[in-house]
Structure 1
Amino acid sequence: MPDHSLVFTLLFSAALALGLLTKFYLASRQIRHVAQHRNSVPPAFAATISLASHQKAADYTVAKARFGMLETAFAAALLLGWTLLGGLDALNQALLHSGLAAYGSLLPQLALLLAFGLISGLLDLPFTLYSTFKIEERFGFNKMTFKLWLADLVKSSLLGLVIGLPVIALILWLMGSAGRWWWLWAWAVWMIFNLLVLVLFPTVIAPLFNKFKPLDDEALKARVTALMQRCGFAAKGLFVMDGSKRSAHANAYFTGFGAAKRVVFYDTLLKQLNPGEVDAVLAHELGHFKHKHIIKRMVTMFAMSLAGFALLGWLSSQTWFYTGLGVRPSLTGANDALALLLFMLVVPLFSFFISPLMAQLSRKHEFEADAYAIAQTDGRDLANALLKLYQDNASTLTPDPLFVKFYYSHPPASERLGRMTPLIQSTSS
């Protein structure tokens, strides 16, 4: 009879090694491809993108890719340390023998989750700091002071505790008390939590980090309002966010749920685009709603999370799931927090290999939203806006095609504008 624990250890190790090699291979291709095309602007963009901007985008892309390889290697080593090298088991055993069990089974499990989160967060801090204050700073994107960064860290950590801890505690209680179908109840709790966050984010959570003021440009406001009425879209309000206090990157988005939806423009976006281009970008976002992309993504997320909870429900009762990952489950106490942590550590290893399918679907949605925007506004405005955003965000014009297929949720500029050109010509003729 096969040793299920050993088989799972080998499967986990193979997935870790294959994922690491794949990520390194793709990153190497991206670095090499971008570097090879650094010194010449693609002919289709030669009239609009300067060589200096193209080279900045190439250097930014290469810098991020090289740093990403370092992060990937560290993450793989850390995962190995938590699992097969005994890190999570040692942490769990230390907490079990700390006397917390005298206060019930839930407290040591919450302590394990909090301790794991704290240690993991501290180990990730150097990478976050370097990315923000070295790479983003070097290319002129970071606008945050260390004081603001620290304030964000404290606020997000406290928010995570206030909002997340009760939900996790409830899920752990369900795991121990709701019988064999606990995972179905836990999934329901998780979905309700996610929907609640969607409702609370615009008015409660986001204002903790940024200032939002009503759009005061009356001409632009009238133009945007007319566009939304033409598209049959209602929003709670139009707001401008002070994104420039953190980054020079520009964006616009819809937030909220149901009647609480609101349109948010980064102040950086309004500085970079003219009214027609802002209109076109907003029309693109409206295209996502028109094609029900948001609903489709939510349904997909609900379905995948249901499958995930069902899988966790089965794995949490299998001894080999723990021992195969270097952890000794308790024979008398609860192992629910261990199961949650191991599941969160292992699932990304295997889901990584289906990420190209999700990226492809996302790119398809972007093409559909572009087509909708061209039908509702001047397509030339959308093309000009995208070119400005690609340039201002230092997005490379020459990514590696395989890297794009695997990772890009948005089409690269050449594909996107290539699809748009015949649509623009047909609507303007």
Structure 2
Amino acid sequence: MFPYWTSIIVLTILTTLFELYKHYRQHKLYYIKEIPKDVKDVYGDSIDQNEFEKSQNYHLELSKVSFIRLTISFIINMYVLCSPILRNIWEFSTTQHQFLTSLLFIIIFDFISTVISIPFKLYITFVIREKYGMNNMSIIVFIKDFIKSFILETILNLVITTLLYFVSETQNLALYLWIGVMTLNIIISLIFVPFIIPLFYKKTPLQEDQFKNEIETKLKEVNFPLKSVSVIDASSKAKEGNAFFSGLFGKRDLVLFDTLMTTCSSDELVDIVLHEVGHCKHYHIFKLLGIQSIQFFVIFKFIEFFLLDEALYTQFGFDQKVVVVGFILLQSLLEPFMEIVSLGINFISRNFEYQADAYATKHGNHQLASALIKLQKNNLSAYVIDPFVSTIENSHPNLVERIQAINKIIKEMRND
């Protein structure tokens, strides 16, 4: 008999200790008061001591909250694993049909998880972000968005639970679950901009102006199939800026945050858009989708192997197989595997970012570096990143690394 309970407890402890270790390594760097030499060399006069200290203090406060959150999450997880709470929720959810019971269980489980997260999100949004001028959201908007997010997440979890329930007794559980989840993933990608974004932001077509004309002209030069350019009112909630293309096939829709347009010049904005074009030209979305599909299939094969083992359920106080509970518990056993997989995916993703930067630099106005610096300052992003933590967790190179790579390309182009 496989020791599920002991294995999950031990892995939960080890995973939490590793998370705390990574967090501590990064946390220490936020106490640095002087601008590091490599940051000075890249940013030059674009950063002063006050801006650096503001960013450091902002991330130090966020980091302290994260320490508390990690600790409380660990305590809650241990309580869930060592108490009959999962069985109690299941019994409370019991109906005449196990399928309906599974759906009700997920709704209650999601609701409890959401309630636990509320104090942290409120404090981060209305205390820390408000203090540093990063929040433009009112409490009413926060509540509305929170409810919408909860409903969408619950619907998604109910769909996955339904899929899991109906394929759990089949001989090809992993295959059917993989097909269902990948199909769902593609559907979400296709409906995200036309249907989900408008639930949270006001989306309007970009009016004819210098920004739009220069973007359209440049995309014609690089033969990129542009369908439309839209702007969302991101400034109504936060200061951060971003841009992205939506869709997987045919002509693409470009979505710009309005904060981006007030932060960057037209040349800088074009280079940011070209960075996103670079991702499309190199088929990064499809490559990541392919990698993700392999990851999901391996995960589901693992789950298929253990999901119907009665020992998994008896060791946690259940007298029957409850696949939705088994699915949740088995995720704890997958944590070490997920750390290794994320390490590889982040490595690939960072290389993709360099490729996209190179594309924008070779086809653009050589203003990508200045645009990234402006976004870094506007987003109050961290300037000092621990290399070990970055390697494991970050899907993007840090800005110092990106700008050094961009400057190297520009130098090579000038020498040719």
Question: TM-score range, shorter-chain basis?
Answer: over 0.9
Aligned match of 1:362: 349
1:86-165 aligned at under 5 Å gives the runs 86-96=84-94, 100=95, 102=96, 104-162=97-155, 164-165=157-158
2:401 and 2:347 map into 1 onto residues whose CA distance is 13
Q: Deviations over 1:306-352 (max 9, x none)?
A: 1222221111112333345xx23334xx5122222223454346413
1:47 partner SS: helix
Aligned match of 2:306: 315
- Judged with a 3 Å threshold, the aligned counterparts in structure 2 of structure 1 residues 9 and 159 are, in CA distance, closer, same or farther, namely closer
Residue from 50, 53, 56 that aligns with 2:51: 53
Higher relative contact order (CA 8 A, sep 6+): 1
Report the alpha carbon displacement of residue 71 of structure 1 after superposing the two structures with TM. 1.5
Aligned match of 2:334: 347
Aligned match of 1:266: 257
Is the 2:114–2:150 contact (alpha carbons within 8 Å) kept by the matching residues of 1?
no
Is the 2:178–2:296 contact (alpha carbons within 8 Å) kept by the matching residues of 1?
yes
Residue from 277, 293, 318 that aligns with 1:286: 277
Aligned: 1:34 with 2:67: no
Is the 1:19–1:352 contact (alpha carbons within 8 Å) kept by the matching residues of 2?
no
Q: Deviations over 1:108-167 (max 9, x none)?
A: 111111111111111111111112112211211111111001111222233345555345
Aligned match of 1:337: 324
Q: Give the counterpart letter for 1:75 in structure 2.
A: S
Q: What's the RMSD between the two structures over aligned residues?
A: 2.1
1:122 and 1:260 map into 2 onto residues whose CA distance is 41
Aligned: 1:229 with 2:226: no
Q: Give the counterpart letter for 2:380 in structure 1.
A: A
Report the alpha carbon displacement of residue 229 of structure 1 after superposing the two structures with TM. 2.1
Q: Deviations over 1:27-65 (max 9, x none)?
A: 222122231244667431242111111111111222222
Report the alpha carbon displacement of residue 260 of structure 1 after superposing the two structures with TM. 6.1
1:210-225 aligned at under 5 Å gives the runs 210-225=201-216
Aligned: 1:426 with 2:412: yes
1:62 partner SS: helix
2:251 and 2:147 map into 1 onto residues whose CA distance is 27
Aligned: 1:249 with 2:240: yes
1:393-404 aligned at under 5 Å gives the runs 393-404=379-390
- Judged with a 3 Å threshold, the aligned counterparts in structure 2 of structure 1 residues 428 and 274 are, in CA distance, closer, same or farther, namely farther
Q: Deviations over 1:354-395 (max 9, x none)?
A: 43332222211111111111111122x001001111111112
Q: Give the counterpart letter for 1:401 in structure 2.
A: P
1:36 and 1:160 map into 2 onto residues whose CA distance is 38
1:187 and 1:221 map into 2 onto residues whose CA distance is 40
Q: Give the counterpart letter for 2:319 in structure 1.
A: S
Q: How many residues align?
A: 413
Is the 1:182–1:313 contact (alpha carbons within 8 Å) kept by the matching residues of 2?
yes
Aligned: 1:375 with 2:372: no
Q: Deviations over 1:228-280 (max 9, x none)?
A: 22223213200111001111111111122313631111000000000000011
2:45 partner SS: coil
Aligned: 1:24 with 2:20: yes
- Judged with a 3 Å threshold, the aligned counterparts in structure 2 of structure 1 residues 11 and 171 are, in CA distance, closer, same or farther, namely closer
Q: Give the counterpart letter for 2:46 in structure 1.
A: T
1:191 and 1:40 map into 2 onto residues whose CA distance is 44
Q: TM-score, normalised by structure 2?
A: 0.93
Report the alpha carbon displacement of residue 107 of structure 1 after superposing the two structures with TM. 1.2
2:32 and 2:395 map into 1 onto residues whose CA distance is 23
Aligned match of 1:182: 173
1:237 partner SS: strand
Q: Which runs of 5+ in 2 are unaligned?
A: none
Residue from 383, 386, 403 that aligns with 1:417: 403
Q: TM-score, normalised by structure 1?
A: 0.90
- Judged with a 3 Å threshold, the aligned counterparts in structure 2 of structure 1 residues 38 and 18 are, in CA distance, closer, same or farther, namely farther
Q: Deviations over 1:392-414 (max 9, x none)?
A: 11122222222222222211122
2:172 and 2:341 map into 1 onto residues whose CA distance is 28
Is the 2:15–2:335 contact (alpha carbons within 8 Å) kept by the matching residues of 1?
no
